[in-house]
Amino acid sequence: MKFEDFEIVSTASYVPEKTVTNEELTKLFDTTDEWIVKRTGIHRRHVVTNETTSSLCTQVANQLLLKSNLMADEIDLIVVATMSPDYLAPSVSSIVQGNIKAKNAIAIDINTACSGFTYGLHLVRQLLIDNHQKNAILIGGENLSKLVDWNDRSTAVLFGDGAGGVLIRSTVDEGTFIAEDLKTLGSYGDYIVAGYTGRPSPFSSQEVGSPFFKMNGRKVYNFAIEEVPKSINNALAQANLCTDDIDFFLLHQANERIIKRISEKIKISADKFLVNIGEYGNTAAASEAILFDQFVKDKTIKRGNKIVFSGFGGGLSVGTIIIKY
């Protein structure tokens, strides 16, 4: 049997219970709620207390199984997109595979930073096509609060923790995929740096640098409002669609001002751009998946809707994928 496409069976998300308001951040460094809201759209973020990336992802995987009415051993593939794994070995996806006892699933972690969910959709689709695999779990999961310098007001206000995912089934019929456009701009990788892992050895003078986020906010903003509209337009053109054909745009939740500027640039009413950054902050590879699940749950997004996902960030990387849900 040859699979030609995929369909999204179910969505799920899980965030830590603990929230940190902007007001609480004013106790850690010199900032105000007004400043943060105006610059980013963020009011609060969820952060781990005793959770980890793999525990958040395990919650999502278990929800997906339940909602899809599948047994764990029916899962063939688990892909976790993350830039904040618990360990470098074992991978988050392996830990999830063990936790949910998906003994027939192979597990792969990918890292394309904030574009992780769209790159993950691309990858899972390709892995399912023509490969006798039927059911895949794709999760974006992050514990970014451990990569944040909580004394640095320029980055500490931005990030949150959480995980979201989809259960994807391959189909022989018409499926979900419409078009995609992915791009990497590695020459600008130093605009967003996090998680430096260097360490000296008796043979190397490798420096112990900072593991924390360091961003050139202005350059990242310019990159995003330039490259994301281009990527969306490329994907639409491939599918011979115009912006009116799209029901909802689900962009990586990096910054509300970036999303607004992108909606203006591609001349689409801002209300087609679903947004939840106010509640979660930037959760990197998890953000589009958490957003998707939220608006599927509240029935804003309905079966048959045409949806544009667009992720962008570290790498630098940008990825757009258009689906019919």
Catalytic positions are 114, 252, 282
Contact between 175 and 7 (Cβ < 8 Å): yes
**Interface with a copy of itself, residue 137, by CB under 8 A:** no
Residues paired with residue 168 on neighbouring β-strands, in sequence order: 8, 136
Which of 32, 206, 222, 300 lies at the binding interface for a copy of itself (CB under 8 A)? 206
CB proximity list for 92: less than 8 A, separation 6 or greater = 53, 54, 57, 80, 82, 85, 86, 109, 141
Task: Choose which of 179, 185, 241, 266 interacts with a copy of itself (CB under 8 A).
Answer: 185
Distance in angstroms (rounded) separating the CA atoms of residues 74 and 177: 23
Backbone angles phi, psi at 87, to 5 degrees: -135, 165
Among 134, 146, 260, 306, binds a copy of itself (CB under 8 A): 146
8 A C-beta contact, residue 162 and residue 53: no
Task: Write each residue from 105 to 124 as x if it is in contact with a copy of itself (CB under 8 A), else as -, in one continuous string.
Answer: xxxxxxxxx-----x---x-
In the bound state with a copy of itself, the residue whose beta carbon lies nearer, of 255 and 263, is 255
Angle at 135 between CA 133 and CA 137, to 5 degrees: 120
**44-46 and 19-21: which strand pairing?**
antiparallel
Q: Is residue 101 a contact point for a copy of itself (CB under 8 A)? A: yes
CB of 220 to a copy of itself, least distance (A): 12
- Reference 85, options 107, 109, 63; nearest CA is 109
Q: Contact between 205 and a copy of itself (CB under 8 A)?
A: yes
Smallest separation, CB 229 to a copy of itself (Å) = 18
Please list every residue from 254 through 313 that binds a copy of itself, using CB under 8 A: 313
| Nearest residue (CB) to a copy of itself, 193 versus 247 | 193
Say if residues 272 and 305 touch (Cβ distance below 8 Å).
Answer: no
Footprint of a copy of itself on residues 243-262 (CB under 8 A)?
A: none
Q: Which residues contact 173 (CB under 8 A, 6 or more apart)?
A: 4, 5
Contact call for residue 69 and a copy of itself (CB under 8 A): no
Least distance in angstroms from the C-beta of 61 to a copy of itself: 11
Q: Site for a copy of itself (CB under 8 A): which residue of 37, 67, 90, 221? A: 90
